[in-house]
Structure 1
Amino acid sequence: MKMKDLALAQVRRGERFSIDGVEFVKLEDDMDAAFAVAADTLPECCQFEDDDAEREDHNNYEDHNNYAGSLLSKTVERWLRDKHPAIFSAVVERPIDLTTMDGMTDYGKPLAVARALTIDEYRKHRSILPLTSKPYWLATGWTTNSSPYSDAGVAYCIRAGGTVLSYSVYSAGFAPRPALYLKSSILVSVETEDEDKALADYSDTDLIDELYRRRRSTYDPD
């Protein structure tokens, strides 16, 4: 298979593309941006939360499963800024919903550059998410200290086989899997299909999708 460059807006949902040597899967379009997730995890595992001296001790847990300010969030952003500046320059900053599994909204919807998937995003896109070589963290916590019988030391993660579980935020057995919004106008690399394929070989759905992709690639919000 050969590679060709095209606008990210023209990439299909669930299709893989590469930029700056990193392979992603496109999840959905959102106006002038596209939401994508890395096809695999980063190679090294890490804790969800680091030992922050300004927080309470481990027995109290405080807000250690708050993705904002966590070691997980720092690791993903550091990977993007330090190792892939070309990708970083194409990122569109968007809010991430940190509502916990029991519906507590204490952690809000802070802006994020590169981050982890939430549990809702994982469930929404699971059918097109490829399995990974390592288990990985999600950004969603179990609950907060505002909830009765709370346990703010637990967050959600995904096994390599795709099943969901909750685990202590101090475990280093899960890897980061970066997710981010990218400008739809940027050029990315995708594998080309058979160039000898005739127009009649494409389904009506394929042709309609192609028309929509071309319209999105020329969309100008201004």
Structure 2
Amino acid sequence: MSKTIELCKVRQGEFFTIDGVEFVKLDEKMGGAFAVTTDTLPDTGPFEHEDAERNDHNNFVGSRLMADILEWANNHPSIKDAILERPIDLTSMDGMTDYGMPCVKARTLTIDEFRKYRCYIPLTSKPWWTATPWCTDNSPYSGAYYAYRIYTDGSVYYSYVCYEFFAPRPAFYLKSSILVSINDGAPDKGIRDFSDTDLIDELYRRRRESYDPD
């Protein structure tokens, strides 16, 4: 059973659904809710085409990957209307900042975001591209043809941007005021759901039950 609530009331790490698509909420920041889909899109594809007329093939902005995510979002009106334009840090793995921090709507996770929110991010049915480049043309002894991807077991590595083995995984900043659906089933309580007094009382109760004077 599900219920409808404002996205701002969804807890960090909790799943929610909008326009038939399931997301997990990663954070509440920069005036919106940061979320990623719980699985990849169904079709795999390249980060960028080999014959693309650009030198920065692993720059997420202007890439085939970005276009695929934008096209997908445009086919989900409720999601499209809720997306906020926010900066994305495209620093390469070797620290080059050639690609800057452009403001975008259609996006996926960077490696830094994946690491930061790893405990909330579900594994996927297909490996997927991140927005993080391995290096740039200005990096020593390297070029702009590799980007990082996440495999189905959560492992991280870089791959040639023209490989079509990896899927897009949309991640957006969404308006916190939108209505979304969540599972209304009573969640199992974790230790953080109890007060210190409750925990001490429970430990004392167990101690008394296990006490054997003989």
Q: Which range, TM-score by smaller chain? A: 0.7 to 0.9
- Aligned partners of 2:186, 2:39: CA distance in 1, in Å? 26
Map 1:80-119 onto structure 2 (within 5 A).
Answer: 80-81=73-74, 83-119=75-111
Using the TM superposition, give the Cα deviation of residue 52 of structure 1 relative to its aligned residue in structure 2, in angstroms. Answer: 4.9
62, 72, 77: which one aligns with 2:70: 77
Using the TM superposition, give the Cα deviation of residue 54 of structure 1 relative to its aligned residue in structure 2, in angstroms. Answer: 2.8
Structure 1 alignment gaps of length 5 or more: 56-61, 206-222
Compared with structure 1, are the counterparts of its residues 53 and 16 closer, same or farther at alpha carbon in structure 2 (3 Å cutoff)?
closer
Aligned to 1:162: 154
Deviations 1:13-65 (A, max 9, x none): 0100000000000000015310000000000001001245533xxxxxx3111
- Aligned partners of 2:114, 2:100: CA distance in 1, in Å? 19
Aligned to 1:153: 145
TM-score, normalised to structure 1, is 0.83
Map 1:24-35 onto structure 2 (within 5 A).
Answer: 24-35=23-34
Structure 2 alignment gaps of length 5 or more: 197-214
Residue identity matched to 2:62: G
Aligned sequence identity (%):
55
Using the TM superposition, give the Cα deviation of residue 114 of structure 1 relative to its aligned residue in structure 2, in angstroms. Answer: 2.1
Using the TM superposition, give the Cα deviation of residue 76 of structure 1 relative to its aligned residue in structure 2, in angstroms. Answer: 0.3
RMSD: 1.7
Residue identity matched to 1:7: E
- Aligned partners of 1:98, 1:52: CA distance in 2, in Å? 22
SS for the counterpart of 1:152 is coil
State whether residues 83 and 105 of structure 2, in contact with CA within 8 Å, keep that contact through their aligned partners in structure 1.
yes
Residue identity matched to 1:4: K
SS for the counterpart of 1:140 is strand
Runs of 4+ aligned structure 1 residues displaced above 3 Å come to none
Tell me which structure has the larger Cα radius of gyration. 2
59, 65, 71: which one aligns with 1:66: 59
State whether residues 111 and 131 of structure 2, in contact with CA within 8 Å, keep that contact through their aligned partners in structure 1.
yes
- Aligned partners of 1:50, 1:203: CA distance in 2, in Å? 52
Residue identity matched to 2:60: Y
SS for the counterpart of 1:75 is helix
Compared with structure 1, are the counterparts of its residues 193 and 140 closer, same or farther at alpha carbon in structure 2 (3 Å cutoff)?
same
Compared with structure 1, are the counterparts of its residues 127 and 163 closer, same or farther at alpha carbon in structure 2 (3 Å cutoff)?
same
TM-score, normalised to structure 2, is 0.86
Residue identity matched to 1:157: R
State whether residues 2 and 185 of structure 2, in contact with CA within 8 Å, keep that contact through their aligned partners in structure 1.
no
Using the TM superposition, give the Cα deviation of residue 151 of structure 1 relative to its aligned residue in structure 2, in angstroms. Answer: 2.4
- Aligned partners of 1:190, 1:53: CA distance in 2, in Å? 41
Using the TM superposition, give the Cα deviation of residue 85 of structure 1 relative to its aligned residue in structure 2, in angstroms. Answer: 1.1
